[in-house]
Amino acid sequence: MSSSSRISRAFQNPCRLPLDQSSRYVLFSDCHRGAGKSNDNFLKNEFLYVSALKHYMGQNFTYIELGDGDELWENRSLSDIKAAHGESFQLLSEFRQKNRFYAVYGNHDISKRKELPSGMIMEDQEQQTDLYLTHGHQADFLNCVLWPVSRFLVRYLWRPLEQLGVPDPTSAAKNNRKKKRAEKRLTHWARQHHHLLITGHTHHPMIGTPSSPYSNTGSCVSPSGITCIEITNRCLTLIKWTLGTRPDRTLFVERIPLGKTVCIHDYA
């Protein structure tokens, strides 16, 4: 099966959400919440993530996670991950209780595939320019079709080597050739099907253009901070949460819009 067919198949039984001027969504992916050990790449950014969640809770956003929320390749136990990140999971639970939490699964949390959909469609209530959301590993043969092999390699080979500074060559996020190849396939699918596509997987944050309608949320494990995409007033804005410094040299959590806001009607 081709990568294009795999991406299309992700939307065979999607979760569907309404999209209109009043909609307020925030899209995260690739948090890779770990078990709090030295190889937990989320741990160093958790305070940024918690600050962002508190902001979005207070601003009445609905939280959407586009896969790889929990690092279940390196770790077998979700309970260990929850124990390591209690405040994060408490906030996510509050979103759930308010019916403001949705998620799809990715390759690193593919064990959730029986409880989560692989794709989500935001149905535009005005111009019918729908948004198609999935993790994006469908464009990556090794991490989609051969995921059991990749998981084995990550869990038993690259996990210990990562602690020595050796990057995982199976990861599109850490291998530029794989990243560019996956992004090329995802962009081609979006153009071919005339859809606005938003994924994670590559950890490369971007907002698409009318000629290239593919966007990416980035990740929560970058050394410089975490990224997400806000959707308000039927417009997409790429956001970075990072540590800022005031003139008096005190530190604070800073929300920074990256690039231009692009609206749905720009793609029509």
Q: What is the reported pLDDT for 140?
A: 87
| Coil vs helix vs strand at 134 | strand
The whole-number pLDDT of residue 141 equals 75
The pair phi, psi for residue 70, each rounded to 5°, is: -115, 140
Which pLDDT value is given to residue 50? 99
Q: Residues in the chain, how many?
A: 268
Q: Are 265 and 234 in contact (CB under 8 A)?
A: yes
Task: Identify the CA nearest to 33 among candidates 239, 226, 233, 260.
Answer: 226
Domain at 3-267: CATH code: 3.60.21.10
Amino acid 106: pLDDT: 95
Write out the E strands in the chain: 15-19, 24-28, 62-66, 101-104, 119-124, 131-134, 196-199, 214-216, 226-232, 235-245, 251-263
Q: Judge whether 236 and 207 are in contact, CB under 8 Å.
A: yes
List per-block mean pLDDT (blocks of 10 residues) for the chain, which spans 268 residues: 90 96 98 93 97 98 98 93 98 98 96 95 89 95 76 74 58 70 94 95 94 95 97 97 94 95 86
For the chain, domain boundaries: 3-267
pLDDT for the residue numbered 146: 76
pTM for the predicted model, two decimal places: 0.92
